[in-house]
Structure 1
Amino acid sequence: MDDRSFAVAQAMILETKKYWTTKLYPALKEDYQHRASLSDAPPQTVNDVRGLIGGTTDYQVYAWLERHLQRFKYSGRYGLAPYHRERRDNFLAPLTGMTDNENLDVDPDFDQPKYYRAVDIHQHPGGVWSADTAGFEYERGARSTTPMMGGKHRDLHQRFTDLVAEGGTPSRVLDMGCGFGKSTQPFYESFADARIDAIDLSAPCVTLGAYTARQGQAKNTRFRQMSACETDYDDSEFDLVTSTMLIHELPPPQIEQMFDESLRLLQSGGRMVHLDFHELPDVFARFIHYGHGRRNNEPFMEPWAEMDVASVLKEKGFKDVTVKSFAEAEGVDAVNSPVWRFPWTVISAVKP
């Protein structure tokens, strides 16, 4: 495909996603509220909401577009996967020699977890780990994950890093599930004197992350292919363990393992701060969020949202546990948003 056709097609998908976000979602929410006001009792469960609007035309169109816009974005005629894979050599050329970079550690014999291989999360063809261009595909795709933010998507990560900085300046940081390094970059830029390790299951992603860090002359950061559930670091090696949009992609047993590993890795008084999707203000938001998980091939989103994470962390021995909604941009209403948004949540705790 030619570059112009690709760019136009992706722009059309993004504009349609904006319409879905700002027009279809509010109309669906208004219809739900009207139907709920006429019902004998307020809806109490996700199934109650489904019974009210699950069969309506508004919801069917909303759900169809959510599923298929993502499919078109990644694997359609002008999708991210075919575009990047047709140009494989061009995209990979700058990465030549990265395997010899001291700030990159990739294991060619790495055994991917079964849960990670079983589902093409985000509808990414083959998964974000399988193609050597997958890091570039994921990076381009992330630009339209939050359609209303556009070029401000980086601000989300910087806002989170700024929030973390309010609790003190770390000296040894572990970024779990770093992807292609978008979440890591504000940390190595904000904490230039800290030593930062970023880990992810995807070799193409950590390779791109290391390349981007090298281009930014960040010498304090190392990218490694590794599971957040089981690392090779020493006990008490870090004073900050963090992640962004990792937890909801883990099955419940692996979530608990990741929390256990975080506790092991932290120094006494060290902080664990994760940004993810969790706090849902009402049953309608829960219904929408669970549907998103199914349509976007994210099967662990629902059990994670159902988890009483504060109790789990306290039982594991953490203290000062907080679970709070997070505004991803200025002026965002995290409780009653007029447009669709992710339920951004900060989960933080301290090792005694």
Structure 2
Amino acid sequence: MAATHRTKKAPALQPAAEQSPPTKRPYDGPPDYRVVGRHGVYPETSHDEIARFNFLAHMNRHLSANLMPGVAEAFEARVKPAFESTEGRPFKDRHEVRKALARDPSWQWWSMLRRATMETRQQAGRWVTLRQAEALNEKVRLLTAGDKRLVLDPAFEQPRSTEAIDHHCMPGSYHTELVPGDVTGPANYDAGIFATTGGMLGRYNDGGGVAVAEWVAKNLPEFKPRRILDIGCGLGHNVLPIAAAFPDAEVIAVDAGAPMLRYGLARAKSMGIENVTFVQADVADLSRFENESFDWIQSTMFLHETSYKTMPVIFAETNRLLKPGGIVLHVEQPQYTEDMPLFEQAMRDWDAFYNNEPFWTKLHEVDLDDWMAKSGFPRQTILHGGVTAVVDPEVFPEAAKDTKQEDYGRKAAWHVIGAWKAA
């Protein structure tokens, strides 16, 4: 008997007019590296180097937006219950949380990828700058030679807080010179910070400085500083927007790293900002400046790169240097307060243990208000605020400004602590 085959009737296709159009997801990733602002001493980048930075920016975005929430889920589902079952009590501090998380595969994968991405970002930026080192160094030399706004000290000895650490995996940290007049370190920092932040600091990586200038304009509209001191200025990316916002003010930018200061002045001159002097000095010893000689003293994401020993000295120096009626503002990541979950505190501590930021953890647990008061600022003069990086909306997609997404240390939003000096 011959076999018979039955076939199912194919479903009728919908008329084209009735088919739903494909849904297009709005792009919410980092901007393309090719829109990065290129001032006069910015390193040149090839097609492959641009592709590498784009990959790293997307990887960092993926780690924060997709993998980090999974770590939080693993903490609630596995890590926390296992600890409470074994110990018979809840976690007592962030250190216990961090040690328990470090045994969980979800955290291990996220942490390993985050560290690898940072190391790769440094390798990528280092290659960009080393291959054009002679041209970069010469360009900066021509811009800064004989300029009195660059004040370097050949006999300067690095404080241990900079000399002993390659901060955030940056080879040579902020101060190392491969050759006389070297600027490859700051050029690396400038070229690669886009990859770490996913463009969240704007075209020129100066969104923090822009935010501070706008905060002052909004909250202190009558404040017209004539002399401004920026401590721990690095390559100047955060002080330049402040100098541009107050063009009639004399701005002094201090840092321990000579390469950063050279590059900072060249960067400023190429951008048409002429009112900043870059001075090499230890911020814990600013004795070169007279008492009560500044209207405004400022630092942006710098305190966590100092030390427990020098912090009170820095605060005391700012009090000495401020004029009566002057203001000091420090922009930093938020402190570990009682209302901050221990999980968040532990995740924020990652940079201290895995990203060469050893003072990060201690800084964020101390009572900064108490330190300000002990340095001479009455408690009633202490102020708090918050700033978020200001970026060009035509460059940075609105969707990527998601305020609900927290990266525990790399989100471009910071706390401001400061004080007025009584008149």
TM-score, length basis structure 1: 0.91
- How many angstroms apart in 1 are the aligned matches of 2:268 and 2:320? 27
2:309 aligned residue (253, 256, 267): 253
Percent pairwise identity: 24
2:322 aligned residue (266, 291, 296): 266
Contact 1:199 1:223 in 2 (8 A): yes
Question: Cα distance, 1:17 vs. partner?
Answer: 0.9
1:134 maps to: 185
Pair 1:349 & 2:419 matched: yes
Pair 1:339 & 2:392 matched: no
- How many angstroms apart in 2 are the aligned matches of 1:305 and 1:52? 21
* 1:24-63 pair list within 5 angstroms: 24-35=67-78, 38=81, 39=84, 42-50=90-98, 52-63=100-111
Contact 1:200 1:226 in 2 (8 A): yes
Q: Deviations over 1:169-205 (max 9, x none)?
A: 2111001111111111111110011111111111111
Contact 1:26 1:338 in 2 (8 A): no
Question: Cα distance, 1:301 vs. partner?
Answer: 0.4
SS in 2 for 1:251: coil
State the number of aligned residues. Answer: 345
Pair 1:12 & 2:55 matched: yes
Q: Deviations over 1:279-325 (max 9, x none)?
A: 34221111011122221101010110111110111122113213445
1:185 maps to: 240
Q: Deviations over 1:249-304 (max 9, x none)?
A: 01111111111111111011211001112334221111011122221101010110
TM-score, length basis structure 2: 0.76
Whichever residue aligns with residue 105 of structure 1, its letter is V
Question: Cα distance, 1:148 vs. partner?
Answer: 5.9
Pair 1:171 & 2:226 matched: yes
Distance 1:103 1:28, change over 3 A: same
2:363 maps to: 304
2:167 maps to: 121
Distance 1:99 1:258, change over 3 A: farther
Q: Is there any run of 5+ residues in structure 1 with no aligned partner, and where?
A: none
* 1:144-223 pair list within 5 angstroms: 144-147=195-198, 149=200, 151=202, 153-165=205-217, 166-167=219-220, 168-223=223-278
Contact 1:237 1:266 in 2 (8 A): yes
Aligned-pair Cα RMSD in Å: 2.2
Pair 1:288 & 2:331 matched: no
Whichever residue aligns with residue 405 of structure 2, its letter is P
Pair 1:315 & 2:367 matched: no
Whichever residue aligns with residue 155 of structure 1, its letter is G
Question: Cα distance, 1:109 vs. partner?
Answer: 2.3
Moved more, 149-158 or 106-115: 149-158
Moved more, 224-233 or 174-183: 224-233
Contact 2:140 2:266 in 1 (8 A): yes
- How many angstroms apart in 2 are the aligned matches of 1:122 and 1:317? 33
SS in 2 for 1:145: helix
Moved more, 42-51 or 223-232: 42-51
- The structure with the greater share of residues assigned to helix is 1
1:69 maps to: 117
Pair 1:225 & 2:280 matched: yes
Q: Deviations over 1:136-179 (max 9, x none)?
A: 11111222332361636433321122112322221110011111
- How many angstroms apart in 2 are the aligned matches of 1:89 and 1:37? 54
1:112 maps to: 158
Whichever residue aligns with residue 94 of structure 1, its letter is K
